[in-house]
């Protein structure tokens, strides 16, 4: 078997020690182990394309949600399965798949070679495997990325500061032939049931049901914003009156405040020059070991 490991040396707290010698010690002498380190954003996609040309049997992403997204995106609709060694801070997808942060245990899962197929989400030309967020969710990730340390404390700090200054945005949604036009505080589209740090906005999401889970929350006053935060931590957001939750296969979202749409995609902030984007599920998009 030829295993190619795509390693982000700067993921999370960058304390992992995933080296070629370490990996070779964990596999059979007959296995071929190749390690490729990322050097810049989106480099992981290039390295996966190299791995495909080098006839990898399994490609393993070693990093956080951003690294995993890049590697997985390049493997969509290929026959090569993805393995994961979570080495980030949030680790949303890995948590949903019950892949532990312990490197040795994660490697044991890869060695089982139990391959499943999961769906992906797609917004325009970008894939997501865990979640996609507009509104305050995107603003929180933007603030979080400006911090030096990727920790849960840093995430909560970014959340609180964003909460105090955020104003709802006017969006028009096109869903199943219906048009919904409102000031939205929060728009969250998920493929998985964990967003990161164990937080769940869509507990009923299923990676392989051929659908995405969309959470829509209208404009909130200051008290309701605080209530929303409490319910998120308590994993009881479904009891909020202004929360609307539905399963969908596709929808479009249009900005009505003349600001190009921005969003967070698997924990990475993204900007566009578009006022309208299309989101859809891609069923059975990725082979993955878990």
Residue 276 CB: number of other CB atoms within 10 A? 16
State pLDDT tens for residues 166-204. 888 999 999 999 999 999 999 999 999 998 888 888 988
Where residue 11 falls (left for φ over 0; alpha for ψ -120 to 50; beta otherwise) is beta
- Could you give phi then psi for residue 144, rounded to 5 degrees? -65, -40
* Token output for 29: 């002498």
* Token output for 113: 């070679």
pLDDT in the model for residue 149: 66
Residue 192 CB: number of other CB atoms within 10 A? 26
pLDDT in the model for residue 106: 97
* Span of 66-80, 129-143, 219-233 with lowest mean pLDDT: 219-233
* Residues 147, 153, 156, 161, CA torsion sign: negative
pLDDT in the model for residue 12: 63
Gap between the Cα atoms of 95 and 198, Å rounded? 7
Taking CA atoms, 230 is separated from 4, 158, 220, in Å, by 42, 16, 14
Q: What percent of the chain has pLDDT over 90?
A: 69
State pLDDT tens for residues 77-107. 999 999 999 998 888 899 999 999 999 999 9
Residue 25 CB: number of other CB atoms within 10 A? 9
The most distant pair of C-alpha atoms in the chain lies apart, rounded to whole Å, by 62
Contacts of 108 (CB under 8 A, 6+ apart): none
pLDDT in the model for residue 208: 97
Gap between the Cα atoms of 213 and 97, Å rounded? 17
Cβ pair 74, 48 in contact under 8 A: yes
Gap between the Cα atoms of 16 and 104, Å rounded? 12
CA torsion angle 238 239 244 250 (round to 10): 10
pLDDT class of 155 with cuts at 50, 70, 90: confident
pLDDT in the model for residue 59: 98
pLDDT in the model for residue 271: 95
Q: Give ∠ CA 120-236-238 in degrees, rounded to 5.
A: 65
DSSP 199: B
Gap between the Cα atoms of 132 and 158, Å rounded? 18
pLDDT in the model for residue 107: 97
Contacts of 264 (CB under 8 A, 6+ apart): 131, 132, 133, 137, 138, 140, 141, 142, 270
Average pLDDT value for residue range 51-69: 96
Give strand pairing partners of 82: 59, 288
Q: Is the pLDDT of residue 14 over 70?
A: no
CA torsion angle 42 46 52 58 (round to 10): -40
Mean pLDDT across the chain, nearest whole number? Answer: 92
State pLDDT tens for residues 30-41. 999 999 999 998
């Amino acid at each position: 078997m030829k295993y190619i490991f795509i390693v982000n040396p700067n993921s999370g707290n960058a304390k992992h020690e995933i080296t070629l010698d370490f990996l070779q010690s964990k596999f059979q002498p007959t296995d071929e182990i190749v390690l490729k380190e990322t050097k810049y954003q989106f480099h992981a996609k290039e390295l996966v394309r190299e791995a495909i040309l080098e006839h990898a049997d399994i490609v393993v992403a070693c990093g956080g949600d951003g690294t995993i997204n890049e590697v997985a995106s390049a493997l969509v609709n290929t026959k090569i399965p993805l393995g994961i060694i979570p080495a980030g801070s949030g680790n949303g997808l890995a948590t949903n798949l019950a892949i532990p942060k312990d490197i040795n245990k994660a490697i044991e899962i890869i060695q089982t070679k139990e391959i499943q197929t999961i769906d992906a989400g797609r917004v325009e030309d970008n894939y997501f495997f865990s979640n996609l967020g507009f509104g305050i969710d995107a603003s929180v990730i933007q603030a979080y990325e400006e911090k030096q340390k990727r920790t849960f404390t840093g995430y909560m700090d970014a959340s609180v500061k964003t909460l105090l200054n955020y104003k709802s945005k006017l969006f028009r949604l096109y869903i199943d032939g219906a048009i919904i036009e409102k000031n939205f505080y929060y728009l969250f589209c998920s493929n998985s049931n964990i967003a990161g740090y164990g937080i769940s906005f869509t507990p009923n999401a299923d990676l392989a049901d051929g659908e995405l889970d969309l959470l829509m929350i209208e404009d909130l006053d200051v008290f309701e914003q605080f209530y929303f935060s409490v319910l998120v931590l308590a994993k009881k957001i479904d009891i909020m009156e202004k929360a609307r939750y539905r399963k969908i296969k596709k929808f479009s979202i249009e900005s009505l405040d003349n600001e190009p749409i921005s969003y967070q995609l698997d924990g990475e902030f993204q900007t566009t020059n578009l006022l309208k984007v299309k989101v859809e599920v891609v069923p059975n998009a990725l082979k993955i070991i878990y």
